[in-house]
Amino acid sequence: MSVVSLRQLSKNYGKIQALQSVSFDVPQGSVYGILGPNGSGKTTLLSILMSILKPASGSYTLFDEEPHDAHRRRMGTLLETPNFYHYLSAIQNLKISAAIKGQRGTDIEKVLETVNLLQRKNSAFSTYSLGMKQRLAIASALLGNPEVLIFDEPTNGLDPVGIAEIRSLIKGLARQGKTIIMASHLLDEVEKVCTHVAILKQGNLITSGPVDDIFVTHDWVQVAAANMEALREKARGMAGLQDMAENEGYLELGFAAGTSKLADINRYFFENGIVLSQLQPKKKSLENKFFELTNGK
């Protein structure tokens, strides 16, 4: 089942095209990243899903049905900076959040335990670190045990410790079977947390699908030898070689993902009279792949 399906979704603000004919599906149980720089349309897209904005054209479904209020009660959201009463405790703030949602709030302590704030449940919000404030906001989104969570830049503004805490929390929620849709401009965040990704640039969908399919297309191996010319010549004859790039002092050999073995590569060159002085795997950076996908589009 697709939790969300977008079909040619477009949105404009006057002459500014925020989204242009965007289509993709969010599978149930996935951690789906909406990736793109600021101004790419990420927040607009999430706002449409939550009926905060209306699309100019196109359509979308929730849980394979036309959207209605009952669907959105199955979804928890964090779309902006946490907005709680600074002088109230976590318990008090979440009681207010539950009341706004029309819920009884019987699961407040449970969600605080999930986000590792139960021991600070009676502390004033003003005493929380930025990471704790963000985790409380996620706790608010978890009230009522929603099936789907929608987060807009959940690690924005956090220090490395806070980022690690939020990433760990998202992975834990995914293991519980939650479907998570999160907008981010951080490539590293998508690689470490998400199972699927849609890449937006200036409102256009560049590509979408499983993270491994989009970002991991080659195994890259660095090799070097005393005779680089002979190394280059023999490398061209290797079975399974799909790409080759030359850098100062070494070659980068590209093979289909999951097919390269260092021992086999070493044996091939040795049997062809070349002793390698360097042999090591190199993962092509997510950043490089991202810029390859978005360059000129």
Q: DSSP letters of 85-125?
A: -TTSBHHHHHHHHHHHTT---TTHHHHHHHTT-GGGTTSBG
**Could you list the pLDDT tens digit for every one of the 297 residues in the chain?**
899 999 999 999 999 999 999 999 999 999 999 999 888 999 999 999 999 999 999 999 999 999 998 998 899 999 877 789 999 999 999 999 999 999 999 999 999 999 999 999 999 999 999 999 999 999 999 999 999 999 999 998 899 999 999 999 999 999 999 999 999 988 888 888 999 999 999 999 998 999 877 776 667 899 999 999 999 999 999 988 888 888 888 998 988 776 778 999 999 999 999 999 999 887 555 556 666 666 654
- Same domain, residue pair 243 and 120: no
pLDDT at residue 122, as a whole number = 97
Domain-terminating residue out of 162, 185, 214:
214
Please count the structural domains in the chain.
2
Last residue of a domain, one of 177, 199, 214: 214
The pLDDT value given to residue 297: 45
Tell me: do 206 and 225 sit in the same domain.
no
Structure tokens given for 27: 């599978």
Task: Give the end of a domain, one of 156, 187, 214.
Answer: 214
Pair 229, 101 in one domain? no
- Cα separation, 53 vs 19, in Å, equals 12
Residue at 286: amino acid letter:
L
Q: Based on the domain organization, do 203 and 226 belong to the same domain?
A: no
Q: How confident is the model at residue 190, as a pLDDT?
A: 87
- Can you give the CATH number for the domain in which 245 is found? 3.30.70.980
Q: Are residues 68 and 128 in the same domain?
A: yes
Residue 67 and residue 202 share a domain: yes
Q: Which domain holds residue 98?
A: 2-214
Global confidence as pTM: 0.79
Residues 35 and 142 both lie in one domain: yes
Helix 262-271 vs helix 228-235: crossing angle, to nearest 10: 110
